[in-house]
């Protein structure tokens, strides 16, 4: 799967106010009363708390700007750690991943043994396709919290994206042993097995994890893997599901042709090689204009 932007949870920010004020309006009145050249540390606290309140209500660009303002004043280590973390989350949530990475790196500097900080930073690096940096932080997170199954899963995913399929398979197996979501694990295993050339296993694993999905991209992948594995009956069965689900006619036609060509079908579409990193990216682009999971 891809690394998709996920809005950060807002539930912890209400514990992290550093003043007695609980509304933006109260804080603005207090800031106005301080005066321009006074109360540097107090201003840092107030701007941070204002940013936190804006963050809690989903006003992320405004929150990020207030956190930046808070950092312009002298403040305590605890406050700067809080500001860096939530400023990073605010930037991430509205797509400023460059600024989010900077803020998360600063938050990690204050809290280097927090596995969640490494995980979050790894996720950002994965989103911007800096895979080696992502692997570095996922590995650090896994070392700090070796019983957390999600960390083995994301480590497997980043190794698969780097083409390190044997390592990825071992890592996803550990995620499964530790109890990570079995359907999610099955999907990732399928992608890894395909990368290792074990198409029949990839097909069986995908069907186990996503075979009942009504998503057209998921169904398309069953058709694709069934073609590679030489299972034409299963490919035709799922082609019917694509038609019933309203897949575009050009996509359906493409799959019908691939089924008739058999396992060599994808290889016969050499004119598309170089334009697409893998054949399912091509067929998915006809289907829903994005890669299959």
The parent domain of residue 103 ranges over 1-111
One domain, residues 46 and 66:
yes
Q: Which residue has the higher pLDDT, 111 or 270?
A: 111
| pLDDT tens for each residue of 176-188 | 999 999 999 999 9
pLDDT at 293: 31
Note whether residue 131 is domain-resident: yes
One domain, residues 1 and 78:
yes
pLDDT at 274: 44
Inform me whether the pLDDT recorded for 264 exceeds 70. Answer: no
Note whether residue 269 is domain-resident: yes
Inform me whether the pLDDT recorded for 7 exceeds 80. Answer: no
What is the tally of structural domains in the chain? 3
Note whether residue 197 is domain-resident: no
Predicted TM-score of the model (pTM): 0.81
pLDDT at 207: 95
pLDDT at 290: 34
Note whether residue 268 is domain-resident: yes
Note whether residue 199 is domain-resident: no
Could you please report the per-residue DSSP string of 74-131?
---HHHHHHHHHHHHHHHHHTT-HHHHHHHHHHHHHH-TT-HHHHHHHHHHHHHTT-H
pLDDT at 59: 96
Note whether residue 196 is domain-resident: no
pLDDT tier for residue 270 given thresholds of 50, 70 and 90: very low
pLDDT at 287: 44
Could you please report the per-residue DSSP string of 169-225?
HHHHHHHHHTT--HHHHHHHHHHHHHHTT-HHHHHHHHHHHHTT---HHHHHHHHHH
Task: Express as a percent the part of the chain with pLDDT over 90.
Answer: 74
Inform me whether the pLDDT recorded for 161 exceeds 50. Answer: yes
pLDDT at 15: 58
CATH of residue 153: 1.25.40.10
- The whole-angstrom separation of Cα 94 and Cα 274 is 33
| pLDDT tens for each residue of 79-115 | 999 999 999 999 999 999 999 999 999 999 999 999 9
> Where among 111, 142, 171 does a domain terminate?
111
Return the minimum-mean-pLDDT range out of 32-46, 151-165, 249-263.
249-263
| pLDDT tens for each residue of 25-64 | 999 999 999 977 787 999 999 999 999 999 999 999 999 9
| pLDDT tens for each residue of 225-251 | 999 899 999 999 999 999 999 988 888
């Amino acid at each position: 799967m891809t690394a998709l932007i996920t809005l950060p949870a807002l539930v912890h920010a209400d514990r992290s106010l550093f003043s007695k004020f609980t509304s933006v309006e109260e804080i603005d009145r207090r800031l106005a009363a301080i005066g321009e050249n006074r109360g540097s540390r107090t201003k840092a606290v107030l701007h941070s708390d204002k940013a936190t309140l804006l963050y809690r209500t989903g006003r992320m660009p405004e929150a990020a700007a207030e956190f930046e303002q808070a950092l312009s004043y002298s403040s305590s280590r605890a406050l700067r750690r809080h500001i860096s973390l939530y400023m990073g989350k605010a930037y991430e949530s509205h797509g400023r991943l460059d600024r989010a990475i900077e803020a998360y790196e600063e938050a990690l500097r204050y809290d280097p043994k927090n596995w969640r900080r490494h995980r979050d930073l790894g996720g950002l690096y994965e989103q911007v396709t800096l895979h080696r940096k992502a692997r570095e932080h996922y590995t650090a997170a896994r070392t700090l919290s070796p019983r957390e199954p999600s960390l083995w899963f994301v480590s497997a995913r980043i190794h698969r994206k780097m083409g390190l399929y044997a390592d990825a398979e071992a890592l996803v197996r550990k995620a499964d042993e530790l109890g990570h979501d079995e359907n999610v694990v099955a999907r990732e295993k399928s992608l890894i097995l395909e990368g290792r050339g074990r198409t029949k296993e990839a097909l069986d694993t995908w069907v186990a994890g996503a075979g009942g999905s009504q998503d057209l991209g998921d169904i398309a992948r069953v058709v694709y893997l069934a073609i590679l594995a030489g299972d034409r009956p299963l490919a035709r069965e799922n082609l019917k599901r694509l038609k019933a689900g309203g897949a575009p006619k050009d996509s359906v036609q493409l799959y019908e042709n691939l089924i008739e060509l058999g396992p060599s079908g994808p290889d016969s579409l050499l004119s598309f090689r170089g334009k697409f990193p893998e054949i399912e990216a091509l067929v998915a682009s006809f289907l829903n204009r994005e890669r299959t999971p």
